[in-house]
Amino acid sequence: MEENHSYNTGGRVVAGLVLILFGALFLAHNLDIIYIEHVGRYWPAVLVVIGLVKLFSGGGSSRHGDGLGWIFLGAWLFISLNGLWGFDFHNSWPILIIGWGISMLWRGLYSQSHVLTAEGQRHGN
């Protein structure tokens, strides 16, 4: 239990530092201190990295689902920002609804299998 708490705290600290870094970079760009136009097209990679960390850090299927969600969101943003395969924000937003549905399905199936496993253990199966 204590390990889970420290992991959550560490994750929040890292997320906070990443937000501060990105905010400072974008502010410096807006003030013409640095030029990050090309780097700005690749920021969704941060979301993919967060997803990969969640995916491979263990913690069960629910955590894996969260990781896949972050990867999906980062990939969608990257594709939309860069206009890959003719997609942009205007024509690709329904993909987010599909992803949301997949996420709900994943969580529903995970919670159902978790309940069935708990009942099987309680009945000695």
The pLDDT score that the predictor gives to residue 5 is 52
Structure-token match 């708990």, residue found: 118
Averaged over successive runs of 10 residues, the pLDDT of the chain (125 residues) comes to: 53 77 86 79 85 76 74 91 90 89 80 58 57
pTM for this one? 0.61
The pLDDT score that the predictor gives to residue 4 is 52
Alpha-carbon distance 99 to 36, whole Å?
30
Per-residue exposure over 32-66, b if at least 16 CB sit within 10 Å of its own CB, e if not: eeeebeeeeeebbebbbebbeebbeeeeeeeebbb
The pLDDT score that the predictor gives to residue 76 is 92
